[in-house]
Amino acid sequence: MMKRLLGAAAALVLAGSIAGAAHAADKLKVGFIYLGPIGDLGWTYQHELGRQALVKELGDKIETTYLENVPEGPDSERAIEQLVRAGNKLIFTTSFGYMDPTLKVAKKYPNVHFEHATGYKRDKNMSTYSGRWYQGRYIQGQIAAKMSKAGVLGYIGSFPIPEVVSGINATMLGAQSINPNIKVKIIWVNTWFDPGKEADAAKALLDQGADIIMQHTDSPAAMQVAAERGKLAFGQDSEMIKFGPKAQLTSILDTWGPYYIARVKAELDGTWKSEDTWGGLDSKMFEMAPYTNMPDDVKKLAEETQAAITSGKLHPFKCPIVAQDGKEVECKGGDHLADGQILGMNFYVKGVDDKLPGK
Amino acid sequence: MVLVEAIILSVLAASTPLLLAATGELVTERAGVLNLGVEGMMIVGAACGFAGAWMSGSIVVGALCGIVAGMLMSLIFAFMTLGLAVNQVATGLALTILGIGLSGLIGARFVGERITTAPKLSVPGLSDIPLVGRILFGEDAFVYLSLALIIAVWWFLYRTRAGLVLRACGDNHVSAHALGYPVLRIRLLAVLFGGGCAGLAGAYLPLAYTPFFIPGMTAGRGWIALALVVFASWRPGRLVIGAYLFGAVTILQLHAQGAGVGIPSQVMSALPYLATVIVLVLLSRARTGGSTAPAALGTVFVPDR
């Protein structure tokens, strides 16, 4: 609580300091709200890379501002509003917890356009955008099943929200397509970012017999533990091979740049309209880091799966999907689960030997 | 049995930064000064510790850089609260905000760099004893240093004259002053010691625990250290128990989850804090009367002559 308060205070100080830089030329002003520091090497870092790509592409026509370390929740509203007052006409709010504050500010300023990452609430002047990361997790599941000698995967979860749960399920479906008896041990650390705790969780998983570490938290700590112990791991959000040159199998890389460029171009052309973008491998919303530390046949398999998912031939949540309790899940999307079912996923698939928290 | 050893090793590593930071804060508070800036001093210690180790290639230099950085941070605090008699709570909170920002600035250059971790000790013959060898003789030096430090602090506080004077400053600064003791100078030294410990605790994170620097990597450990001092009712012995208990519950809940114990993870994540509250209640019930907090804790002192 204290930390949140302090963070909020810090955000206010930051927000206050940029307000002065409002009056410049009549370039389009684009604002960004970041959850963490730009040097987090994970989530926020990738958004910052996207912003830098945007500046490189359209730097002569636009002016960008970002606020980092803005805590989620009601306090972020003030930070977003500061960006509006500073004259930003297109504002990207880059974390789930900014959803309601963004919506509130959007209603207040109908002439400003907003883009909210990973949320589900939209308005005339508020779009949403996100990535179909479960596709990447399916590929990772296949690689993990091939590479695991023990047949036990270790999975570090942040919070049991649908995005993370669907990631676990996609991983398991991918792994089961290779080895139907694969096991997964899941540890929820209940934080997105605490390097020490993430490392402890990785150690606990390895100590209990898992030999591949997968994570849905933000720091490279788990990768480093795997590397230290001569085990294998997957990175998260960004390239983490530096922290485990002999450990990283691949990593899902969020590549926001193309999307940011496309949306700002639309804003410049006057063609911007509220949309819901959920980009997969085909749209380059994310990429897979090079497949490393695996034999050629596994690499080939991963590349083939990636190609099949990209072309739409393979859907990770292809029906029939059997839930943990043995009942088949209703198939609302034709031959695969509907987007809404994936976005709201709150069950484990069969073979996950764990109880979903809160169920 | 191997799993038990692995768990104990993880607990040692997780508890050490808490114990180090809390040891410093205990001495500071025993002198009557409440420095809430532990988190800020820690994170600056982490940034400077990593910077020092990366540039010099030496873990020892890194640790020293962390200590000095923590002391410099605490010097700012001392100047404000002892020199200018500013409110300690507000200054401590400001110190944390300052530290988080400053560490990002110092550390920006080093994000993404790697160092080799502090080496595990190896005592010929002893480290190889089954089960206890690695635990007692085979961890990194910080682990044993933190224990030696808290023993030294206990000896200093209860077995030396200087320690008695320091406690007197914390319990009644007016009397200590009347007896001719330099209250402000003693408090300055206590604050500096606290800063040095917090800096070292921060440096432990990138030097031994997770060998890289990322802004915000202390992730609230400074606040836990503050709580531990209260938990220990300002006594070194209880502080050791508290730090290891906290570390143990944290690690055990991770293992319980991995082993599939059917308790919601949110409940298990709350366990260390729950344990803290329960122990606090038990302690307060068992107490025979009177508060255990230093009587002059958090009050400013302006000498009248």
Does B264 contact A at CB distance below 8 Å? yes
Pair A218, A302 in one domain:
yes
Asked whether residue A260 is assigned to any structural domain, the reply reads no
Q: Quick check: B254 and A41 CB within 8 A? A: no
Measure in Å the smallest separation between the Cα of B226 and chain A Cα atoms: 12
Q: Quick check: A187 and B100 CB within 8 A? A: no
Write the single-letter amino acid at A71: P
Structural domain count, chain A:
2
- Closest by Cα among B257, B5, B11, B16 to A205: B257
- A317 neighbors A343 (Cβ within 8 angstroms): no
Pair A94, A10 in one domain:
yes
Q: How confident is residue A74, by pLDDT bands cut at 50, 70 and 90?
A: confident
Question: How far is Cα B28 from Cα B38, in angstroms, rounded to an integer?
Answer: 11
Handedness of CA A144, A148, A150, A155 (dihedral sign): negative
pLDDT of residue B134: 76
Pair A299, A157 in one domain:
yes
Residue to substitute from B98, B142, B204, B214, interface A, most A β-carbons within 10 A: B214
Residues of chain A contacting residue B39, judged by C-beta atoms under 8 Å apart: 3
B190 pLDDT more than 60: yes
Q: Quick check: A357 and B265 CB within 8 A? A: yes
Question: How far is Cα B133 from Cα B130, in angstroms, rounded to an integer?
Answer: 6
DSSP B57: -
Taking CA–CA distances from B93, the nearest residue in chain A reads A6
Does B144 contact A at CB distance below 8 Å? no
A40 pLDDT more than 80: no
Question: How far is Cα A272 from Cα A269, in angstroms, rounded to an integer?
Answer: 8
The greatest distance separating any two alpha carbons of chain B, rounded to the nearest whole angstrom, comes to: 66
Measure in Å the smallest separation between the Cα of A102 and chain B Cα atoms: 25
Pair type for strands A248-254 and A286-288: antiparallel
CB-closest option in B117, B215, B254 to A200: B254
pLDDT of residue B127: 73
Q: Which of residues 187-246 of A touch B (CB under 8 A)?
A: 187-191, 193-201, 203-205, 207-208, 210, 219-221, 224, 228, 242-243
Write the single-letter amino acid at A62: I
pLDDT of residue B71: 97
Handedness of CA A139, A143, A146, A151 (dihedral sign): negative
Helix (H, G, I), strand (E, B) or coil at B120: strand
Domain annotation for chain B: domains and CATH numbers: 2-286 (1.10.3470)
- A132 neighbors A278 (Cβ within 8 angstroms): yes
Q: Which of residues 181-200 of B touch A (CB under 8 A)?
A: none
Pair A147, A116 in one domain:
no
Does B89 contact A at CB distance below 8 Å? no
Handedness of CA A194, A168, A232, A279 (dihedral sign): negative
What is the average pLDDT score of chain A?
A: 90
Phi/psi at A123 (5° precision):
-150, 180
Locate B267 and state its tokens. 């409940």
- B169 neighbors B31 (Cβ within 8 angstroms): yes
Residues in CB range of A101: below 8 A, 6 or more apart: A73, A74, A76, A77, A80, A93
Measure in Å the smallest separation between the Cα of A233 and chain B Cα atoms: 16
Asked whether residue A105 is assigned to any structural domain, the reply reads yes
Strand order in the sheet with A232-235: A183-188, A152-157, A212-215, A232-235, A248-254, A286-288
Residue to substitute from A187, A190, A239, A348, interface B, most B β-carbons within 10 A: A187
Average pLDDT (A165-184) is 95
> Lowest-confidence range among A26-30, A131-135, B184-188?
A26-30
Pair A71, A101 in one domain:
yes
| Domain final position from A76, A96, A131 | A131
Pair A116, A185 in one domain:
no
Question: How far is Cα A232 from Cα A148, in angstroms, rounded to an integer?
Answer: 9
Write the single-letter amino acid at B133: G
Cα–Cα separations (whole angstroms), residue B19 to B153, B161, B193, B194: 12, 25, 14, 12
Q: Quick check: A224 and B111 CB within 8 A? A: no
Does B214 contact A at CB distance below 8 Å? yes
The secondary structure of B206-269 as a DSSP string is IIIIS-S--TTTTTTHHHHHHHHHHHTTT-HHHHHHHHHHHHHHHHHHHHHHHTT-SS-HHHHH
Phi/psi at A128 (5° precision):
-130, 155
Asked whether residue A342 is assigned to any structural domain, the reply reads no
Phi/psi at A289 (5° precision):
-65, 155
CB-closest option in B10, B96, B107 to A6: B96
Neighbours of B219 (CB within 10 A): 21
- A254 neighbors A35 (Cβ within 8 angstroms): no
pLDDT of residue B76: 97
Residues of chain A contacting residue B120, judged by C-beta atoms under 8 Å apart: none
Q: Which of residues 138-167 of A touch B (CB under 8 A)?
A: 154, 157, 160
Taking CA–CA distances from B256, the nearest residue in chain A reads A187
Pair A69, A183 in one domain:
no
B17 pLDDT more than 90: yes
Asked whether residue A87 is assigned to any structural domain, the reply reads yes
Q: Quick check: B254 and A201 CB within 8 A? A: yes
Q: Quick check: B210 and A353 CB within 8 A? A: no
Region of B156 please: left (phi>0), alpha (psi -120 to 50) or beta.
Answer: alpha
B226 pLDDT more than 50: yes
B289 pLDDT more than 80: no
3-state secondary structure chain A: CHHHHHHHHHHHHHHHHHHHHHCCCCCEEEEEECCCCCCCCCHHHHHHHHHHHHHHHHCCCEEEEEECCCCCCCCHHHHHHHHHHCCCCEEEECCHHHHHHHHHHHHHCCCCEEEEECCCCCECCEEEEEECHHHHHHHHHHHHHHHCCCCEEEEEECCCCHHHHHHHHHHHHHHHCCCCCCEEEEEECCCCCCHHHHHHHHHHHHHCCCCEEEECCCCCHHHHHHHHCCCEEEECCCCCHHHCCCCEEEEEEECCHHHHHHHHHHHHHCCCCCCEEEECHHHCCEEECCCCCCCHHHHHHHHHHHHHHHHCCCCCCECCCEECCCCECCCCECCECCHHHHHCCCCCECCCCCCCCCC
Q: Quick check: B265 and A219 CB within 8 A? A: no
Residues in CB range of B126: below 8 A, 6 or more apart: B133, B136, B137
Digit-coded pLDDT (tens) for A328-348: 999 998 899 999 899 889 999
Q: Quick check: B257 and A187 CB within 8 A? A: yes
Average pLDDT (A188-201) is 91
Write the single-letter amino acid at A187: I
Pair A48, A117 in one domain:
yes
pLDDT of residue A190: 87
Write the single-letter amino acid at A222: A
CB-closest option in B107, B108, B205 to A196: B205
Question: How far is Cα B233 from Cα B245, in angstroms, rounded to an integer?
Answer: 15
Pair A122, A192 in one domain:
no
Pick A266 or B291 by higher pLDDT: A266
Reported ipTM: 0.84
Write the single-letter amino acid at A329: V
Pick A105 or A238 by higher pLDDT: A105
**Which range marks the domain in which residue A195 is found?**
133-253+288-311
Q: How confident is residue A241, by pLDDT bands cut at 50, 70 and 90?
A: very high
Residue to substitute from A1, A2, A246, interface B, most B β-carbons within 10 A: A2
Question: How far is Cα B167 from Cα A21, in angstroms, rounded to an integer?
Answer: 52
pLDDT of residue A17: 43
Average pLDDT (B14-34) is 96
CB-closest option in B212, B223, B266 to A224: B212
What is chain B's alpha carbon radius of gyration, rounded to the nearest angstrom?
20
Asked whether residue A331 is assigned to any structural domain, the reply reads no
Pair A160, A72 in one domain:
no
Cα–Cα separations (whole angstroms), residue B56 to B47, B49, B62: 14, 11, 8
Pair A48, A127 in one domain:
yes
Does B221 contact A at CB distance below 8 Å? yes
Could you report how far apart the first and last alpha carbons of chain B are, in Å? 64
Residues in CB range of A12: below 8 A, 6 or more apart: A75, A78, A79
Cα–Cα separations (whole angstroms), residue A328 to A141, A323, A331, A353: 21, 6, 9, 17
pLDDT of residue B288: 55
Q: Is the pTM of this model over 0.90?
A: no
A322 pLDDT more than 50: yes
CA–chain centroid gap for A121, Å, is 18
Taking CA–CA distances from B7, the nearest residue in chain A reads A204
> Lowest-confidence range among A45-54, B67-76, B265-274?
B265-274
Asked whether residue A276 is assigned to any structural domain, the reply reads no
Which CATH number does the domain housing residue A175 bear?
A: 3.40.50.2300
Does A340 contact B at CB distance below 8 Å? no
Q: Quick check: B219 and A207 CB within 8 A? A: no
Asked whether residue A145 is assigned to any structural domain, the reply reads yes
Q: Quick check: A200 and B10 CB within 8 A? A: yes
> Which range, A68-77, A225-234, B290-299, is most confident?
A225-234
Pair A146, A200 in one domain:
yes
Q: How confident is residue B121, by pLDDT bands cut at 50, 70 and 90?
A: confident
Asked whether residue A201 is assigned to any structural domain, the reply reads yes
- A281 neighbors A309 (Cβ within 8 angstroms): yes
pLDDT of residue B99: 95
Handedness of CA A268, A271, A274, A280 (dihedral sign): negative
